[in-house]
Structure 1
Amino acid sequence: MDIQLHETWADRKEALEASYFVGRTTELALISKWHNETYKHTPILNVNGPAGSGKTSLVQMALKNAKSEGFLVHSLDCRSIADISELRHSLTQFPLNSQNRHGQAILFFDHFEESGLWENWFRETWLPQIPTSIRVIIASRSRLDGPWRIQAVWKHSVYLLSLPLLSFTNIAEYAKKHHITETYHIEKLWIISKGHPLTLSLSTELVLTSKFDNSVFETETFQAVLSNWLKEVPDEDMRKLLEAACVLRSFDQDKLTALLASEVTSAMFERLLCLTFVIKTDDGWGVHESIRDLIRLALKARSPDRFEAFERKAAIYYKSKLLNPPAGQRAYRVLGDILYHTGNPLIRAHYHCSRTSSHSLVRVTEESVHELQSYLLRRKAHAKNYVISCGENDTGHVFHYQISREESMLGLPEEEELIELLTIGAELLLLMKDDGAIAGFSASVPLTDNARLYLMNNSYSSAYFAKLTESEWYHLQRTGGWFIRIIDIEDPSDESLRHDSFRMKLSYIQPDAMIIASPLPLPFYEDALLNLGFVEVDHIQQLGYGEGRPASFYQLDLRGKQNEDFINKLVTWDAVQQYTELHSMGENLTKQETKIAEMLLKGFSNEEMAAQLFVSVITVKKHLSAIYRKTNVQNRVQFLAKRLRLS
């Protein structure tokens, strides 16, 4: 960066921050619309997110833009304001009646969670008397609650802007700004930070050192960040409770009691829920992802036996709930939790990202089928090439997939098929955004006599169902189940949509059912089914996706005792043991090929294998070809499928 002759340190700091600012394009645009009166009925903007999520940087960038447009701007740090008298003094520095080009001004309160005793005076006395031309931005760790959400005047005056984590693309952009271009290092940044801005910044400092693995969480830098978060948790008992909560994907009072093997009192549980980084989820409560991962890995490094004991207890707890589900509870919710504790890195990568969803499911009817048709038209018009990266912290694995524009449109049903699906009683569900737009859909056919003719004639299902004998069909429809025709989302690279599509798959996994699917023959779709426990059906393929794209069928049989066998296999799934028992395949692999095969089973990319073994990617590909030849498979998916069958 060029240093100007009269540049101050403040100027340089501002320029550096601007040059490293990534992501948040949507949020910046929203704040610009907000202060330009697009949201004139909500003059208070609450930017909220946990510590280190970039609230201050975002607002300061937005205020810089507002200043350039002629707005009068004033900022206050609530950490430096102890009481009402100090607040009054600070507010006198801001000329409330000053005029500018727009006749508007913006007042920014940062770190509002530190407001303490003067918050009530600020809300009930000061705010009502200021001119309506003044817009107020409040940055806080948690969203404004209590009277802010109860009293009508404030409920309708506050616009909530919750900051999401940065995407993999954002992280790659940030890394390149710091001259980090190696794919291996960018992936590790993604795994360590999970899109948390402060963790990303700290990780970048360590990326080229030998410390850049899970041990970075033991460095003084990260321990300082952890200590900052844990200021809210001063006593030892609460910290132990928080550690247990961080082991779980989601928690409630009963789960924590089971995990700790001692009663968690209502008072202790209420204190836990008051922490600013604890959030309400679809199935209980959870700790914000980045903070949870940091505490979780710190516990694993400091006390591995205690961590493993927590994991085992969690898996056993969920097993009992899955075998004896409470009345009215959907099995897939418990299944999602037990999958999180199995150690399967690909499942954790797909499903750990979020425990809450901003999307809802709406059933399609004959009256609303036109909405699905409109979505399909839009989906085809806006299709593009997709690059998908997902990973998880415990093993540090990143999984990469690619779907071309043409591939993403294969299998989408036409209008005639949609009508037929409704006629036979298929379940068609729309994945809806908060604004009412459709983000995806699913179509699944029940294994009933009413649907048999469709299943026997449809190009995506006939190869399987037309071959069933009358006896086989009788037993199949007698116990029930589903043929998953399609689960589609508008953008597979969107982490929250991937989570929701995975959750839709789980919703069909019910006791005493047979679930059958024949997805697009791409690793992204096939890997998910194989790692969920589906088995590839031998010698049956369909050509619904095109002549050059034979697609296999996968089935998960949970009828009778096989349901308990499935659950037991999940609970006893041990990643390390599964990966290292390659001798059970009876193949004569060399020492180097065995290492690569172990990495392959862990989900390593070719580039990551090369970096770990200090060889070229071309060498890795040669070893993979030899492994596939010796194991009599054609590709990675077939190798994984064969390993799963043998295990």
Structure 2
Amino acid sequence: MNSFPYKDDQMEQADPLFMGRQQELALFHEVLGMTIGANLVNVYGTGGIGKSSLLHAFQRCCKQIGVREFLIEGHSSMQTPAAFCAQVLQLLGTSPEASVNSEDDIVNACIRQLNAVNETEQVVLLLDAYEYMESIDNWLREHFLVRLGKRLITVIAGRLPLSEAWYLSPEWRKRLLSLPLSELNFTEARQFCHVNGIHSESSIIQLWNETKGHPLMMAVAVIAMQHAAKDAIEEGALRAKNIDFLSYIVERWLREVPVQSDRTIVEAASTLRYFNQDSLSYVLGRELDTRGFRELIRYSFVYKTHHGWRVHDLLRSVVIQDLSSRSPKQYEHYLIRIVSYYYEQFTSRRRTNETTWFAGELMYYIGGPIPRAFLQGLGTMPRYFQPAAPSDFEAIRHYLQRREEEARDTEIQLYDPYSNRSFQYRQSAGQSRHSIMWVNLNELCEIGLDCFWILKDVNETIVGLAVIIPINRKSLDYLLQHPLSSAYFHGLEKCRLDAYAVPESTRSGWFIHTIDIADFENAQLHFSLAHLIISLVFSGEQIIVSPPPTSYYSDALESMLFEKTAHGAHTGYDGKTPSPTYILDTRGDKLLNYLEHMMKLAGIELITRKQPDVEKHEPKPMGNPEVILTERERQVAELLREGLTNAQIANRLHLSEITIKKHLNAMFQKLEVTNRTLLLSKLIELIWK
């Protein structure tokens, strides 16, 4: 989005919540001008996201250019076509004709008068809170709107997008424009603060951490900050001022979940940062069927991400606070299940990008406040460091030049919502340059192009650079001479140094030469940086690093249990400040020991290598005491006996096909068979005989 803020003093006075929606306004102007061929606009998003504010802005646009508009609130309990049409007639300034005797007459009169007005002037029908009009959705789609002139524009706003039935119609599909509303991005939030007289970057970042760009919460937070002395805003003060209002917003969201059992599922989903049907079933300790899962993901506060589904951050925050204080044992139970789930996912698979992601999520839950603050991020689509290609090296040169020229004093703000702790780090322009000062591309290319890792933004511009050197016979000469690494390697006994000198085709560990991001005030880049370190930690190797001597780096490394070496300190960054060398060894069984140590520090006594299966049912024998199947496995077996496919069994039991496959694989192992045919034969032989 751009052109923020909407410069209209009357609008700001009439609706201070309206912000950052210039793209939506521009699209609406195109609809009014009939330049994009759409006459049905669907605005949707979760509670407090600004749907009503946007409709009021649309209404104002119409008045400014002389377009006739009618705004209808769904809260008005219009549950019948006649009630809806009666309200439209009232807005038209007319009453049903004397000859109107039935509901059909009222509907026909409404359509006749709307079309009559639309013949002489453009008309826009604005329907707000559409979720309350569900009972007349089919009538509006099939019988009402189709009888209105195509010049008439309809805007439908609600928490959820229009149902699939709208998109199944070729006619509606070509006339429909979807406008999903999301939270403001960080740039828009900063601009909004500036417009409202808040210029302190630390206050802006604190406000962002508390509101995640949610418009209604942004407005409330700004009001709170305007009434407080700017230098008196203390850690947690904003949360204390807004928690009651936040609870009110959350209660509005949870009106969508009237059944307590469904709210329990929402609670469990909120403890997970990302979830799918399998992970949520694991955390609940029971299988959530497909129907229940689909109901969950249709709530307006649940949205799809690259890694599964996610509950809105504000709702997650309040649910976690409420659950942890109201039922700490239940909250702890969920956390243990989450840690156990990610632990099993990580330890039971070959190392891939997916297992690295599991490692990051595991670290989020067991790493404590600082790793969580680094991994918090500001978006739902995190970006990761990737190996550089030869074609990237000119861009890397430009990145280094840009970093040198644009280095500035920065104030880094990180926030952990679980502990409600903030972490501030100040870095001078000179300190900012330290992390790239020893990058000599020609020297490093001699070691190998695979040393370079880059982070790109959505525009494919490099915004982060890492140089990670594999330690072997070829690189050891460089490491023995380089100012960042020579003190450590020269201080080793000969036998230990020789152990690093493995053949060039392999490595004995990693030396992190450089790890840098373009903007240290961008929280999303901190996520990417932390994720890179975590991927190395969980690679099961030895990692050595001697970062710039600032608490930003030392806190991050020490929170992940990197240890300072007895030797290896140097002054290679500024010629005077000692910079320690850190090491972490997770080779072999040390990785599992590392994980268990981290979990114990987090107060989670696992389970780990002995975690029971998600099934909580007591095993029940099926005919033969030597063959023990769970209740669910018995149900799957019976349906398999009927000749049903996996998909048919899943549909019958309201489970996913993946879950059915898991049950079949479990039975394969118990009965020592390899396919469905052999399984049926074994079941007949041992159980059904």
| Matching of residue 319 in structure 1 with residue 343 in structure 2 | yes
Deviations, residues 69-92 of structure 1 (Å, cap 9, x unaligned): 888876554555656777788597
Residue in structure 1 matched with residue 460 of structure 2 by the alignment? 436
Cα 1:391/1:137, change in 2 over 3 Å: farther
Match of 1:392 among 410, 416, 419: 416
Residue of structure 1 equivalent to 2:534: 506
Partner of residue 582, structure 1: none
More deviation in 355-364 or 440-449?
A: 355-364
Quote the Cα distance in structure 1 between the aligned partners of 2:586 and 2:446. 26
- Tell me the equivalent position of 1:630: none
Aligned-pair CA distance for 1:266: 2.5
Task: Tell me how far 1:16 sits from its aligned partner.
Answer: 3.9
Shift of 1:167: 4.5
Where does residue 215 of structure 2 map in the other structure? 197
Could you tell me whether the CA contact under 8 Å between 1:391 and 1:399 is conserved in 2? yes
SS at match of 1:508: helix
1:42·1:158 contact (CA, 8 Å) conserved in 2? no
Per-residue CA deviation, residues 422-459 of structure 1 (Å, 9 max, x unaligned), is 85142433333334333333332222334333333444
Percent of aligned pairs with the same amino acid: 24
The 5-angstrom pairing of residues 122-521 of structure 1 reads: 139-141=157-159, 146=164, 158=177, 162-165=181-184, 167=186, 170=189, 192-201=210-219, 219=244, 221-325=245-349, 328=352, 330-342=354-366, 344-353=368-377, 356-357=380-381, 359=383, 362-412=386-436, 417=441, 420-421=444-445, 424-468=448-492, 471-476=495-500, 480-521=508-549
Equivalent residue in structure 2 for 1:53, among 33, 46, 49? 49
Greater CA drift, 144-153 or 430-439 = 144-153
Contact 1:517 1:554 in 2 (8 A): yes
Aligned-partner residue type, residue 584 of structure 2: L
Task: Kindly provide the CA deviation profile for residues 176-203 of structure 1, in whole angstroms up to 9, marking residues without a partner as x.
Answer: 95x9999999887666544433345556
* CA RMSD across the alignment: 4.8
2:22 corresponds in structure 1 to 28
Distance 1:575 1:491, change over 3 A: farther
Gaps of 5+ in 1: 1-10, 578-647
Q: State whether residues 17 and 50 of structure 2, in contact with CA within 8 Å, keep that contact through their aligned partners in structure 1.
A: no
| Cα drift, residue 489 of structure 1 | 2.7
Return 121-130 or 334-343, whichever deviates more.
121-130
Cα distance in 2 between the residues matched to 1:34 and 1:123: 21
CA apart distance, 1:121: 7.8
Go from structure 1 to structure 2 and tell me whether the alpha carbon gap of 1:549 and 1:236 turns closer, same or farther (over 3 Å shift).
same
- Give, in angstroms, the shift of residue 295 of structure 1: 1.4
Is the 8 Å Cα contact of residues 358 and 434 (structure 1) preserved in structure 2?
no
1:572 and 2:591 are equivalent in the alignment: no
Residue in 2 that maps onto 1:636: none
- Single out whichever of 145-154 and 403-412 deviates more from structure 2: 145-154
Distance change in 2, residues 1:41/1:418 (3 Å): farther
SS of match in other structure, 1:233 = coil
Instruction: Give the Cα separation in 1 of the matches to 2:316 and 2:357.
Output: 20
Instruction: Please report how far the alpha carbon of residue 540 of structure 1 lies from its aligned counterpart in structure 2 after TM superposition.
Output: 2.0
Q: Do structure 1's residue 524 and structure 2's residue 542 form an aligned pair?
A: no
Which 5+ residue runs of structure 2 have no aligned equivalent? 1-7, 89-110, 229-233, 606-689
* Alignment partners' CA distance in 1, 2:169 and 2:307: 27
- C-alpha change, 1:394 and 1:475, in structure 2 (3 Å) is same
**1:34–1:40: 8 Å Cα contact kept in structure 2?**
no
Could you tell me how far apart the structure 2 residues matched to 1:375 and 1:119 are? 54
Q: Which amino acid aligns with 1:490?
A: A
In 2: Cα distance, 1:137 partner to 1:379 partner: 47
Instruction: Report the TM-score when normalising by structure 2.
Output: 0.66
Alpha-carbon distance in structure 2 between the residues aligned to 1:374 and 1:145: 48
Say which is worse superposed, 408-417 or 436-445, in terms of deviation: 408-417
The separation in 2 between residues aligned to 1:486 and 1:121, in whole angstroms, is 63
Larger radius of gyration: 2
Q: Distance in 2 between matches of 1:487 and 1:124?
A: 59
Given the superposition, is the C-alpha separation of residues 484 and 416 from structure 1 closer, same or farther in structure 2, using an over 3 Å criterion?
Answer: closer
Deviating more after overlay: 85-94 vs 424-433: 85-94
**Cα distance, 1:421–1:181 mapped onto 2, change above 3 Å:** closer
Structure 1 residues 354 and 284, CA gap change in structure 2 (3 angstroms): farther
Tell whether the 8 Å contact from 1:338 to 1:570 is kept in structure 2 after alignment: no
1:531-580 CA deviation, whole Å, 9 max, x = no partner? 12212223423444332454332222112343222111211124899xxx
Structure 2: distance between partners of 1:546 and 1:495: 27
Question: In the comparison of the two structures, how many residue pairs are matched?
Answer: 558
SS in 2 for 1:429: strand
> Which whole-Å CA distance do the structure 2 matches of 1:251 and 1:20 have between them?
31
Q: Which amino acid aligns with 1:552?
A: P
In structure 2, give the amino acid aligned to 1:283. Answer: H
The one-character-per-residue Cα deviations of 1:210-246 (angstroms, maximum 9, x if unpaired) are: 9968777985x55443321112222222111111111
Structure 1's 134 and 353: CA in aligned 2 closer, same or farther, altered over 3 A?
A: farther
Q: Deviations over 1:266-292 (max 9, x none)?
A: 322222222222222333322111111
Query: Matches of 2:18 and 2:290 in 1, distance apart?
Result: 43
| Alignment check: 8 A CA contact 2:412 2:425 kept | yes
Q: Is the 8 A contact 1:168 1:190 kept in 2?
A: no
Q: Rate the CA distance shift 1:328–1:171 in 2: closer, same or farther, 3 A.
A: closer
CA distance in 1, matches of 2:569, 2:579: 5
Q: Distance in 2 between matches of 1:296 and 1:67?
A: 45
> What is residue 597 of structure 1 aligned with on the other side?
none
Provide the C-alpha distance between the structure 2 equivalents of 1:167 and 1:467, rounded to a whole number of angstroms: 46
Provide, for residues 18-76 of structure 1, a one-character-per-residue CA deviation record: whole Å limited to 9, x for no partner: 56766x3xx43674488469996696876654222334435645775786688887655
Per-residue CA shift, 1:462-506, capped at 9, x if unaligned?
Answer: 333454455324434576432223333332222223222222222
Decide whether aligned partners of structure 1 residues 351 and 259 sit closer, same or farther in structure 2, where only a CA change above 3 A counts. same
How far did residue 12 of structure 1 move? 11
CA offsets per residue over residues 597-644 of structure 1, 9 Å max, x none?
xxxxxxxxxxxxxxxxxxxxxxxxxxxxxxxxxxxxxxxxxxxxxxxx
1:547 alignment counterpart: 575
| Contact kept? 2:375, 2:530, Cα under 8 Å | yes
Structure 1 residue 361: deviation in Å? 5.0
Amino acid at match of 2:387: R
Contact 1:424/1:451, CA 8 A, preserved across alignment: no
1:87-119 CA distances to partner (integer Å, 9 max, x unpaired)? 78859769657779xxxx987654455564666
Q: What amino acid maps onto 2:549 in structure 1?
A: P
Say if 1:424 and 1:450, in contact at 8 Å, map to a contact too: no
Report the more deviating stretch, 416-425 or 525-534: 416-425
Residues 400-425 of structure 1, C-alpha deviation per residue, up to 9 Å, x if partnerless? 12233343333336885167348514
Counterpart amino acid of residue 316 in structure 1? S
